[in-house]
Structure 1
Amino acid sequence: MKSDRMLSILLLLQTRGQVPATELATRLEVSVRTIFRDVEALSSTGVPVYAERGRNGGIALLPGYRTDVTGLTADEARALFVLVTDRAHADLGLGRAIGSALRKVMAALPQPHRDAAALTRRRILVDPVRWRSGPPAAVADLGVLQDAVFTDRRLRLRYRHGRDDREASYTLDPYGLVDKAGVWYLVADHRARPQLFRVDRILAASVADEPVRRREGAELADVWDTLRRQIDDLPTGVDVVVRVRRASVRRFLSIYRADLSAPPPAEADPAQGGEERVEFRLRFRSLGAAQPLLAFGADVEVISPEPLREELARLAAETAALYSGGQRH
């Protein structure tokens, strides 16, 4: 579009100063004649632009002329304000710089884009540091969640919890959405208490007619930081390697999928049948948290760590001893 091209010329001249007409034509993929026609059109609107002829000539603006037009579309303006967490900028020594830069961009935005950009900054967050978890499932649609977040309305969810596959229904007061290294989370209050909901575990969602009831003064970045610290501060955990009889893989994954530290191997398809064993890697918070593996009996063999093997052997021996004395009277 001609208007977009003229705006591009204006922004290039503001950034570069004098620019040869041939370079502008190459950048914008038009002829030099078209560039001169656009310059004339800019001049007719009151922009102090002129052309200098000769070997060192080019197109330029009068010295000191600036415009506050950024040329950003509404979506481009919102995209700039989908912020990476303050922690990431601080790690790079850019904590103060990012705030200053965004204030300058905000001041230059047209007023219709300014409110949308400010709201986006408060409702969407990107945290690039990966948590240890199983591979994320594909997210079909964030539309309903965004609708609730940006219109400040309550949200109704049907949700499947990862550890035990339990399903539950919630009415939530959302603060926003966080992309945690490719895994999306909804940050919301449930009965005035902050909680995280993995988007790929949401079974159904609908926006309620009721306005949101966020805690006064609470913002997405602060609530996220609190919830993130609760998880980051957990003990490092124990890495466990197991071999599972193929016939029990489906039941094993229904219980322990959330504890996987690596994607299930390709040969883990239980439909193949057979008595072969499939290796899985898991992580538990402690040795004690891994003890329920014993409930699978001989269908699950712990390969490592050795202390867990020893503990399970001890528990199995105690259980065997309990039942080895014959029938109880």
Structure 2
Amino acid sequence: MSGYLFYNVIGVIILQINRLFEIIYILLNKKSITAKELAERFEVSVRTIYRDIDTLSSAGIPIYASQGKGGGISLLDDYVLNKSVLSEREQNEILYALQSLSITLTPETDKVLARLSSLFNRNTTNWIEVDFSPWGSNENGTCQFTMIKNAILSRQIIEFNYFGSSGEKSIRKVEPVKLVFKVNAWYLQAFCLTRNTYRTFKITRMSDLQMTPESFSERNFEGIKENEQAQTTQIDVCLNISAEGAYRVYDEFDEEDITKNNDGSYMVKASLPRGDWIYNYLFSYGPLLEVIEPKELRQEMKNRIKIMTNKY
């Protein structure tokens, strides 16, 4: 499921949950109300209200609609909202799930959370926080991340300056599709209007980000998948990492790819995406890593080390 579709579905669900609870609370304090009045209150169609009534009825709420003059939507007179239908554990799971969705910044989330906490006689506990911005992000970095997320959700085109892998600067105008966290960095997958194709942008290389008033329609996501596959051919590597690098080995490689040697070092056999990034990644280990295979990768590492040595 795409990032846009996921958050859109979550937003719709939260809005509906809040509306259903609001309808129940209204009816508990009012004998009857018309579907038209409810539709105007929630700014939805009368048909949507009747669907909500069917949902509540299917859930066992004794709600009914009467026709004619003086008619409307009502609850049975002796009905009391029964919270014992859910166990204490189930109540907690619902509250915790809603709390973890606060990152979506959907205004209705807090309303639903407050209502359910009151209903279940519980104080909300800040046991979880979901924050997609990188550690150490300054306020500008956090705002940039939030702006991208909002552009994805609202399907608005964004513009920014971008520094490519070779350092060239270009102005990009894109239709943002999805935020991706990969190899300790955040990326934006988008349809680049400047290049007329799908591209993946590293967020730390983006600057002067602006959300434009232009909107866009959803494209075929197969295009970005094909583009990803074309850009991510793999290379099989064999690495020897000293014992001092253990803290990274198990963070960055699968356990089945790791063999611990008798001297405490680690032999890692894995597949990594091809590209110039791989050299920067391997060099980030410093003297803790030695490339064993393939020979061409090992030789290129030697060549780059020689170039660096000559500079000193």
TM-score by length of 2: 0.37
TM-score by length of 1: 0.36
Which has more radius of gyration?
1
